[in-house]
Structure 1
Amino acid sequence: MKDIYLFLCFSSLTAILSCSSLPVKPNPIYKGCNLSFRLIELYSGSQKNNYLYAPDPKIKVNHSRYEDLSDVSEEWIRAKQNGKYGFINTEDKLVFAYDLEFVGDYSNGFAVYRDGASFRDPKAYLDKKGNLLGNLSFDEAYSFYNGYALVQNDDNYGIIDTKGKFILPTKYDFLTNFHNGWAVFKREEHQGLVNTNGIEKKFVHDLYDIKSYFYEGYLTFTHYKKMGLMDSNFKILIPPKYDYLGQVKEGLIRFQLNHKWGFLDETGKIVIEPKFDDVYDFSEGYATIKIKEKYGKINKRGDYFIEPNFDYIGSFKNGIAIAEENKKRGFITLEAEWLVPPIFESVSEIKDGIFSYKLNNLWGFVNLRGCIHK
């Protein structure tokens, strides 16, 4: 019977690889580990289930049994069982009971959580011991970033730190978290930048509206539903003539004009003409593009690195990106090869040596840290 299961597994993988639009990386080695994963099909009565097998003993496979799993964050993974959320550690051990209606990932030692079933119920911050941050609750609460978190009460925004102290009071009509030491704000008739000391740098203009992060020294703004770019001194760098402008990433800015997407440089010069149905930001030299519901990759000249034949392609991180083909997902490399062919129903990015995967409509995770630390 075991031989039958192995035969079924081999046959299914062969079928996947034979119709793939990218070559399979031969002997796929990642951080010293062999990623030649296999799916083993097992039957219980008429029920067939797929199980993930890793031939490399340095890889630890934790089988799919969760309703949902997050990425690893501060050594914990958010898990869902019987409709409730809790946390497991990287050894697949329960560290926080499944009694939360909603909870986010841990960041800076705290996770946003909600005690009630309705998304309108108050939110608060929970540490890893189950204690509330300052016994504070908010209409809305957002994850901590570099020691600060954006909160909202009665449609007004403020920012707190990890001690529960208000860095900025909840008095702003619009507010972002701090980036590069400044947050974008709107308050009554005023708008501009505010720093961690509460000092405001106001931008006076009746027709321009700032509503973006202050990122890498730049701000996007709107004017009659068109977007432009300015610097930290509110000098206009790119006039407002685009339907959408993104942030500056790797020296290029994605933009939309007349329902098509392309890329500008920081001076406003069009580097890649708007001919795509959608684009992602550049990451590690390449950007994901979309044409007629299919995804591909381009380089910074606009040339195809991967033709748009995929159901989905994510951004490269550490040389690896998620890709979907024939409703299955795996990982591709900067060599335009499959590192792990599309065998998963869904899969997360590899973060801190761990990735989550979905099989049989349930989630499990793979620990690659035995590879990374060797």
Structure 2
Amino acid sequence: MKKGLIFSLLLLLVGQLFFAQELALVKEKSKIGYIDKSGNYVIQPSFETAKSFSDGLAAVKEGQVWGFIGKDGKIVIQPSFSNIKDFHNGICIVEKDKTWFYINKKGEKLTMPYSDKLYDFNEGLAFMKGGNKIGAFDTDGKVVIRAEYEIIKPFQNGFARASKDSRWGIIDAKGNVIVPFEYGDIGEYADGTTWAKKGSLYGVIDGKEFKIMDEVDRIWDFEGQPMTYAKKKGKIGFVDKTGNWVIEPKFDKARAFNQNFAPVCVNSKWGYIDPTGNYVIEPTYNDAEVFSNDHLAPVKGKDWGFIDKTGKLVIPMDYDISKSFGFTEKNKGFNDGVSRVKKSGKWGFIDTSGNLLGNKWFYNVELFQN
């Protein structure tokens, strides 16, 4: 009895791991398939038109209609839709018979609040629009934010920028006002902090207190970091959450800190500084991007390669790279151990040692998705 129970649990665990793994869409000649991070096909290239996995399902087109497959390559929702979007929070927007509506993962039509336009779910909410006003409802169809805003930006970590009466503030996923609607512009809200603009003045909001920063031309989002970069009189430095300069503005360009390194540019050359503002990697590159959590950063000479935190070039400058945008912006470079790269007109993935996944190039590849 115990052996049978253990075997069943093992099968369940294996199944969960299989369906949790990330797969990447690849195009080989005229057919699309999906590979895992070993570079091997999990789903053989057999589709002429398909999309990346999202929320465990991928849209594929058969003839003139769309349906969805699971990670075993089998049809989960029969092709019957003339147009589709992606699944988010278990719900997808589809079109059939010239009508757009929501479906669940069984392909069943859902009844949701009326909206002039249908929006994808994000962090458990979808926007609804009536006339010129925006609100939001949850996956059960319950309205949680009344349609009283002119604009609501996508939620990030439970908070969203919103505009009301031509002024910007911050709301949470229940519609509570976190930062009052007093600003001409406002940044993403993270860890109780954001930047804002009131009249012609920029400043930092820590909690609800707005601290004006003199002569500042622009402030970038904190993105969960203890400091961000800001521009003053044409030069860029770094400020903390209280609005004080930690690193005086002296750079021509800069990007965000991660792994305690930030790319900065002086006289058209890029290098990296530490949180005290001292160079840890001298500015010698034509371009440079943020260090990823894989402890590698893309740097450019003629083409792109990757350095480690000692400044050593560990992957040669032989590639083109790109950034992907969604509800969450992915790093330009490595994400969870792999980077999408292009060489000699073909696309593929390399690992952190510079090895080509599956030792194979493709006509196109998309980022690994779950």
Q: Deviations over 1:315-366 (max 9, x none)?
A: 1123533333432222211121122222324376332333322121110124
In the TM superposition, 1:261-280 aligns within 5 A as 261-280=236-255
In the TM superposition, 1:45-84 aligns within 5 A as 75-79=22-26
- Alpha-carbon distance in structure 2 between the residues aligned to 1:203 and 1:167: 19
Aligned-pair RMSD on alpha carbons? 4.3
**Do the aligned partners of 1:138 and 1:152 also contact (CA within 8 Å) in 2?**
yes
Change (3 A) 1:190 1:286: closer
Share of identical aligned residues, percent? 23
Q: Does 1:172 align with 2:149?
A: yes
- Alpha-carbon distance in structure 1 between the residues aligned to 2:126 and 2:59: 10
Task: Determine the structure 1 residue equivalent to 2:366.
Answer: none
Task: Determine the structure 1 residue equivalent to 2:329.
Answer: none
Q: Does 1:353 align with 2:337?
A: yes
**Do the aligned partners of 1:243 and 1:256 also contact (CA within 8 Å) in 2?**
yes
DSSP-derived class of the 2:296 partner: strand
How far does residue 75 in structure 1 lie from its aligned partner after superposition? 0.7
TM-score of the superposition, structure 2-length normalised?
A: 0.62
Q: Deviations over 1:1-22 (max 9, x none)?
A: xxxxxxxxxxxxxxxxxxxxxx
- Alpha-carbon distance in structure 1 between the residues aligned to 2:22 and 2:57: 13
**Do the aligned partners of 2:206 and 2:242 also contact (CA within 8 Å) in 1?**
no
Q: Does 1:341 align with 2:325?
A: no
- Alpha-carbon distance in structure 2 between the residues aligned to 1:220 and 1:166: 29
1:362 aligned partner, one-letter code: K
How far does residue 231 in structure 1 lie from its aligned partner after superposition? 2.7
Task: Determine the structure 1 residue equivalent to 2:49.
Answer: 99
Task: Determine the structure 1 residue equivalent to 2:85.
Answer: 124
**Do the aligned partners of 1:229 and 1:240 also contact (CA within 8 Å) in 2?**
no
How far does residue 288 in structure 1 lie from its aligned partner after superposition? 0.4
**Do the aligned partners of 2:266 and 2:283 also contact (CA within 8 Å) in 1?**
yes
In the TM superposition, 1:188-199 aligns within 5 A as 188=165, 191-199=168-176
How far does residue 367 in structure 1 lie from its aligned partner after superposition? 5.7
**Do the aligned partners of 1:109 and 1:127 also contact (CA within 8 Å) in 2?**
no
Gaps of 5+ in 1: 1-72, 116-121
Matched length:
287
DSSP-derived class of the 2:243 partner: coil
2:261 aligned partner, one-letter code: Y
Task: Determine the structure 2 residue equivalent to 1:308.
Answer: 283
Change (3 A) 1:131 1:246: closer
Q: Deviations over 1:203-257 (max 9, x none)?
A: 254xx3243222110122112343211133x212344641111233542221011
1:227 aligned partner, one-letter code: Y
Q: Deviations over 1:294-332 (max 9, x none)?
A: 211111121111122112222112353333343222221
- Alpha-carbon distance in structure 2 between the residues aligned to 1:354 and 1:318: 11
TM-score of the superposition, structure 1-length normalised?
A: 0.61
- Alpha-carbon distance in structure 1 between the residues aligned to 2:214 and 2:120: 30
- Judge which range, 158-167 or 192-201, deviates more: 158-167
How far does residue 162 in structure 1 lie from its aligned partner after superposition? 5.6
DSSP-derived class of the 1:358 partner: strand
Task: Determine the structure 2 residue equivalent to 1:246.
Answer: 220
- Alpha-carbon distance in structure 2 between the residues aligned to 1:150 and 1:327: 44
How far does residue 130 in structure 1 lie from its aligned partner after superposition? 11
How far does residue 197 in structure 1 lie from its aligned partner after superposition? 2.4
2:161 to 184, 188, 194: 184
Change (3 A) 1:287 1:236: same
How far does residue 104 in structure 1 lie from its aligned partner after superposition? 6.8
Change (3 A) 1:277 1:217: same
Change (3 A) 1:84 1:282: farther
**Do the aligned partners of 1:287 and 1:315 also contact (CA within 8 Å) in 2?**
yes
Gaps of 5+ in 2: 1-19, 65-82, 94-101, 104-108, 323-331, 356-370
- Alpha-carbon distance in structure 2 between the residues aligned to 1:344 and 1:202: 43
Change (3 A) 1:258 1:89: same
Task: Determine the structure 2 residue equivalent to 1:221.
Answer: 196
Q: Does 1:237 align with 2:211?
A: yes
Change (3 A) 1:168 1:130: closer
**Do the aligned partners of 1:358 and 1:364 also contact (CA within 8 Å) in 2?**
yes
- Alpha-carbon distance in structure 1 between the residues aligned to 2:21 and 2:338: 12
